[in-house]
Each structure stands twice: as structure tokens, then as C-alpha cells.
Amino acid sequence: MNRILIGIAALLALGAAACTDGKPAPPGKESAAAADAAPQLAKMSLQKGALAQQVKLPAQLASYEEVSIFPKVNGYVKEVLVDVGSHVRKGQLLMVLEAPELEQAVTQAREKYARAKLDYTISAQNYQRMLQASETPGAVSPMGLASLKAKADADSALSNAEKANWQMQEAVTSYLKVYAPFDGVITERNVHPGALVSAEGKDGKPMLHLGQVDHLRLQVDIPEGIAANLQDKDTLSFYLSAFPGKKMTGKISRRSNLVNSQFRAERVELDVYNKEGRLSPGMYADVLFYSNGNPDAFTVPRTAVVTSTERKYVVAIRDGKTVKVDVATGNETVDKVEITGDLHPGEEIVRQASDEIQEGLAIH
């Protein structure tokens, strides 16, 4: 019996507690609870300021001048006077081709010109004699004199045409000798004596490849946001993979003034002089330089910028609500980044933003 009474008492106590919990909260406590539920986000005020940054970009050495040498005419390779690694001077004879049919064409054209010139000489002399004879009244008819004049003019024109054809054939024959267009080194050779070469270049391979190596170009693609702040003749430092730890410098010599639509970068070139011959075209390098940054940009923590597959933005606080503002980034360090966009100095943004923060969210 005692156990039953104790159980009933316990049930009555639980019912009383439940009735007490179900009572409405005192006035004012609901708003306090709502305020506690509102998100508490760390904020910061925007201030303009450039962010200096050391930039490291990949680069490559290339010949200042290079050319692939293809045959101008069809023929057989008679002599190759150079090989891979040969240092040549401008105007030096590199190869000799042979094409007997071209030599025969030159001989034929020369003989045709000689005959046409002889015909013109005879026609001109006949006209001059008749012209002198025409001084005697009635000795030569005007029609006959005009005919001789016309024949002399025609033979003169034919003689000039045959001469031009002969000179053209000689010019074509001159292509059988291949000369170096500038000082450099032979970096590729694909033919040997006896090989048949074609002016059409069907195989796509040049006979020789010539590159200038005492003067090189260091080519580097610089992102558009950084390239815009570079000046001509700025000095850049670079390190070659072939010479670890050796610092080299060069000045900006040329800019493409064209931003690649795929990589959003501008090609910049530095002149590198290689008098000792230790450097080679094709070597990889790392270019290091300091970017002073954009003075019109805002510097914010990296955590304030949200990057998604569709956009890059910060979460601004306007009229007490969150607004996602698209931005473009510039220089970056380990913990900071430059941003530009529809923002104003003194405006507040969320310091640690994420894509989970909804737009239009009330901030206290």
C-alpha cells in the first residue's frame, strides 16, 4: 500500500511541473530570445590600400631570332656544310642543292634572249638605214618606213621579255645555294647529301633550323591585374632551373599589349645577353618581382572573400542586411588579398564570410 501511495505522489509532482513549463513567457523575453538567435558575425570596415606582393611566375628562354630553313625549289642535296651545333655568320653558305633541269632552263633562256637581241639589232639597223634613205624624196614610202619602225619596236619588246625570263631563271637557280640569314647556331638538321627536297615541304620538317643564342628572350606571361602596374624598363629578377640559386636580372624590353583571352595574362619579354654561351633556348626560369599593388583597391582578409564556381564576392552589410557584392581580386599574400568592386571606403563587410550566409539576412 505504501508503494502505491508513493507512485501516485510522484505522478502528481510531474503533472505540476509540466503545467508550470507550459505557461507563456513573461513579456519582453521573446524579443530577447530572438535577438540571441540572430547571427553574430564579425565585421570590418573597408579601407583603401595597396598590397605589396612578391610574385613568382614561370618563364622560358627563347632565341632572339630563329628560323626554319626550307628549300625554295625542288632538288637534290649536294652538300651540307654545317651540322648541329655549328656557329655560323650572316651570309655564310650552309647547303648546296642541285637541279639539272633548272640549269638547262637557264641555258635555254639565255639563248632565247641572245636570238631576240640579234633580231632586234637587225630590225633597228634596217629602220635606221631606211630613215636615212627617206631623206631623199620618193626613195622610201611612208608606209614602208612605219612598218620597219613597228618591227623594230616589237623586236625590242621581245628582246626585253626574253632578258627578263633569263634573269628570272638565274634567280631561281640561285636558290640552289642556301645562306645564313643572320649569326647563330644550327640547332636542327634533317637532311643529308642525296636527299630529295621539295619546295612544298610535304613532310613539314625544315632542312635546317637556325637560332641566335648570344642574344635571348626571356618570355613570361603576367596576369592582367599585375601587368597593368608594370612599367617599361622595370627590372625583374629570375632564376634558371639549370643554375639553382644563381640570381639573374633583366629589364622589360617588350610588351605584347594583348591580354590572352584564355589565361587572362599579357606576354612580357626581357632581353638576356649570353656572351659566354652558358644559356640555351628552351631553358625554364622562375621570374620574381615585387608588385606594388593597386592603390585604389581595398585590402581585406582572405576569409572575407567567397569564391564559388560561378562568382567571387564579399558579404557587405547595408541597412542592417547582408548583400553579396561581386569583386575582382588583385595581389594576394598568405592572409590578405586586394579586392575591387562596387564598394566604398568605410563600408562594413563580414570578416569571415561563407556561401552559407544568405543574402538579405538581418545583422545585429
Q: Could you report the per-residue pLDDT of 162-197, keeping only the tens digit for each? A: 999 999 999 999 999 999 999 999 999 999 999 999
What is the distance, to the nearest Å, from the Cα of residue 15 to the centroid of all Cα atoms in its chain? 82
Give the SS3 label for residue 211: strand
Q: Could you report the per-residue pLDDT of 88-141, keeping only the tens digit for each? A: 999 999 999 999 999 899 999 999 999 999 999 999 998 888 888 877 887 778
Domain total of the chain: 4
- On the question of pLDDT at 327 being above 70, the answer is yes
Do residues 192 and 223 both lie within one domain? no
Question: In the listed set 118, 147, 174, which residue is the last one of a domain according to the structure?
Answer: 174
Do residues 311 and 283 both lie within one domain? no
Give the structural domain span for 256: 55-64+212-291
Do residues 84 and 180 both lie within one domain? yes
Do residues 147 and 191 both lie within one domain? no
Q: What is the pLDDT of residue 361?
A: 87
Do residues 76 and 200 both lie within one domain? yes
Do residues 170 and 193 both lie within one domain? no
Q: Could you report the per-residue pLDDT of 273-317, keeping only the tens digit for each? A: 998 889 999 999 999 877 777 888 999 999 999 998 889 999 999
Residue 127 and residue 149 in contact, taking contact as beta carbons nearer than 8 Å: yes
Do residues 81 and 197 both lie within one domain? yes
Residue 200 and residue 251 in contact, taking contact as beta carbons nearer than 8 Å: no
Q: Please report which confidence band the pLDDT of residue 227 belongs to, taking 50, 70 and 90 as the band edges.
A: confident
Residue 38 CA to residue 5 CA, distance in Å, equals 48
> What is the β-pairing status of strands 336-341 and 348-350?
unpaired
Question: Is 35 a domain residue?
Answer: no
DSSP H helix total and E strand total for the chain:
5, 21
Question: In the listed set 291, 306, 336, which residue is the last one of a domain according to the structure?
Answer: 291
Do residues 200 and 92 both lie within one domain? yes
Question: Is 160 a domain residue?
Answer: yes
Residue 69 and residue 207 in contact, taking contact as beta carbons nearer than 8 Å: yes
Cell numbers at 14, concatenated: 510531474
pTM: 0.63
Residue 148 CA to residue 51 CA, distance in Å, equals 90
Question: Is 315 a domain residue?
Answer: yes
Residue 29 CA to residue 106 CA, distance in Å, equals 111
Question: Is 13 a domain residue?
Answer: no
Do residues 85 and 194 both lie within one domain? yes
Do residues 241 and 273 both lie within one domain? yes
DSSP character at residue 302: G
Q: What is the pLDDT of residue 86?
A: 94
Report the greatest alpha carbon distance in the chain: 175
Question: Is 323 a domain residue?
Answer: yes
What are the start-end ranges of the H helices in the chain? 2-21, 29-37, 100-133, 142-174, 224-227
Do residues 227 and 136 both lie within one domain? no
Q: What is the mean pLDDT of residues 134-163?
A: 87
Question: Is 180 a domain residue?
Answer: yes
Question: Is 36 a domain residue?
Answer: no
Residue 345 CA to residue 362 CA, distance in Å, equals 22
Q: Report the 10 Å Cβ neighbour count for 273.
A: 11
Q: Could you report the per-residue pLDDT of 1-13, keeping only the tens digit for each? A: 444 444 444 444 4
Residue 178 CA to residue 189 CA, distance in Å, equals 14
Q: What is the pLDDT of residue 333?
A: 85
**Distance (Å) of CA 82 to CA 76, 77, 91, 187, 188:** 17, 13, 13, 10, 10
**Distance (Å) of CA 156 to CA 90, 115, 144:** 40, 12, 18
Do residues 87 and 106 both lie within one domain? no
What is the CATH number for 59? 2.40.30.170
Q: What is the pLDDT of residue 67?
A: 94
Residue 201 CA to residue 67 CA, distance in Å, equals 15
Question: Is 248 a domain residue?
Answer: yes
Question: In the listed set 270, 291, 312, which residue is the last one of a domain according to the structure?
Answer: 291
What is the CATH number for 330? 2.40.420.20
